[in-house]
Chain A
C-alpha cells in the first residue's frame, strides 16, 4: 500500500461518496473479513439452530405448529388478510403524509414569541398535552365510535376515517415535540441574524430557522414513521376490516391462529425494509454531518 490516504472513500472535495443501501451492506460484510465471516456463520447456525431444535423438540410443538404454522390455513387465510392489509397500507400512507404537516403547524404555533401570540401558544400546549396524554388505543376508540355516533351533518361518518384522525392527532402531538426540539437546537444567534436582516418573525422561522430545524430532526421523524407503520394495526379495535381484523375473523371461524402469523408476516415485509432504510439513512446523515470543514 502507498502513503495513507486521509480519506479513503472520499471525493476530492471531501464529501463522502454516496453509498447505496446495498453497497453499504455488502461493505459491512466484506469488512468483517474471511475468518471473521466463518466465525459469524458458525455461531449464527449454532445459535439459531439450537434455538430452533429447542422449540421443535418441546412436547407441545406439534400442537403449536398446527395452530400457528399450518400451511393449509396459511394459504386459506392469506387472500383475506392481504386484502385487509391494503387498508393498513392506505391508512399508513395517508397518515404519514398528514402527520408531518399538522405537527409542523403545532410546533410553529408553539414557538411564536411575544405576548400577542400567547393564545396561540396556549392552544398548541393544550393540544400536545391532551393528545400525548391519552393512550392511542383509547383515542381511536373514542373518536372512531364517538364521532360517527354523534351523526353530525357534513362530517364523515366512517369509523375508519375517525380512527385515522385519532392516529394523526396522537402522532402529530409527538411529532410536534420532535420538531420543537429541532427548533430549539438552532442557536439563538441564528434567529438574531435573521431578525437583523429585517425579516419578520414568521419569515425568520420560515427561511432561516425551520430549514435547519427540520434537517436536525429528519432521523427522529423517520423513526416515527417506522412505529406508525405498526400502530395502524390498532384500527382493528373499531371492527374495521384491516389485516388484524381479518385474521381475527379467520381465527374465530376456524379456531386456528395461523392467520395472525400471516398478518405478522405482512407487517414484517413492510417494516423490515423500512427499518433497514431508516438505519442506513441515519448513519449516512451522521457521516455527512461530521464531515464539515469549520
Chain B
C-alpha cells in the first residue's frame, strides 16, 4: 500500500542557501507526523512546497501515489485536497470569521452560500467559536484567530492538514485551546503533518516524529523512541537545548 503522502528526495534552495537537501519521509493515512528541528531547518519551506505554494528544485511529492509536483498538475485542485494553517493565522482582516471560512468553498469549490454558511457555523460551533461567527479577526484573541484559521482550512474537507507552528505566535495561555483542537482532529483520524516546538504535545499526539537538520530528516521514529533514546547526537543535543529552554 502506498502512503497518503510521500516526500521523495526533495531539494530546494533560495539563491545560494540550500534549505531542503534531499528530504524523504512518508505520512500514512490517519497518521499524525510531527516535524521538529531548529529554526531554519526547512520545516515551513517543506510545508509550503507540499501545498504547492513554492516550487521544488528537484525530487517529488506524491499524494495517493500521484506526483503533485509534476508540471501538468492542477495546483488549485491539489490545494483543495491539502489544508494548511500558518504560524501567523492570516485570517483576512476585511472579512468576518464566517466569511473567512466560506470564501474558499464558495469561490473555489462553487458551494452555494447557504450550505457553506451552515457548514462553517457547525464547525465553528464545534471548536468553541459559535459566538464569534460575525466578529472580525481584529476583534477576537489570537487563539480564537488560530482556531478560526483551522476551521477555514477544514472547510474543504482536506485529506491531509499541514500545520506550521500554529501556536508559536500565541500568548502562552492561549496555546492550550489551539492544541486542544488539533488533538480532537487527531482523535477523529485526521491525517496531519505538523511543524511544532511543543515537544510535550508532539510526544502526546504524534504517531511519528521527524527531526530535521540542515534540510534532511536526520531521525524518524515514534515519539517515545525519539524523545526517550535519540539515535543521533544532533537530535539529543537539540532536545537538550529545548529542555533547557523549558519547552518540554
Binding site for B on A (CB under 8 A): 187, 189-190, 192-200, 203, 207-208, 211-212, 215, 292-294
Contacts and interface: CB of A to CB of B under 8 A. Distances in A.
Contact of A294 (B76, B79, B137): B137
A294 B53 contact: no
Contact of A215 (B76, B94, B142): B94
B92 A294 contact: no
B142 A294 contact: yes
Interface stretch (B63-71, B103-111, B117-125, B190-198): B103-111
* Interface residues of chain A: helix, strand, loop or mixed (majority): helix
Contacts of A211: 92, 94
Contact of B90 (A189, A198, A199, A294): A189
A197 B108 contact: yes
22 contacts: A189-B86, A190-B90, A192-B48, A193-B91, A193-B92, A194-B92, A196-B51, A196-B53, A197-B152, A197-B156, A198-B80, A198-B104, A198-B156, A199-B107, A199-B108, A200-B76, A200-B108, A212-B92, A212-B94, A293-B138, A294-B141, A294-B142
A203 B105 CA distance: 12
Given A196-B84, A197-B104, 9 more contacts: A190-B90, A193-B90, A193-B92, A194-B92, A196-B79, A199-B76, A199-B107, A212-B92, A292-B139
A207 B53 contact: no
Nearest to A192: B53
Residue from the set B53, B79, B107, B141 with the largest chain A CB neighbour count within 10 Å: B107
A294 B94 contact: no
B213 to A, nearest CB: 25
A128 to B, nearest CB: 26
Contact of A293 (B79, B91, B140, B153): B140
Contacts of B92: 190, 193-194, 208, 211-212
B107 A207 contact: yes
Residue from the set A193, A198, A200, A293 with the largest chain B CB neighbour count within 10 Å: A198
Contacts of A294: 137-138, 140-142, 145
B53 A197 contact: no
A198 B92 CA distance: 15
Residue from the set B80, B84, B104, B152 with the largest chain A CB neighbour count within 10 Å: B104
Residue from the set B48, B51, B90, B138 with the largest chain A CB neighbour count within 10 Å: B90
A192 B51 CA distance: 10
Contacts of B88: 189
A190 B86 CA distance: 10
A205 to B, nearest CB: 12
A294 B138 CA distance: 6
A197 B79 contact: yes
B93 interface: yes
A192 B145 contact: no
Contacts of A189: 86, 88, 90
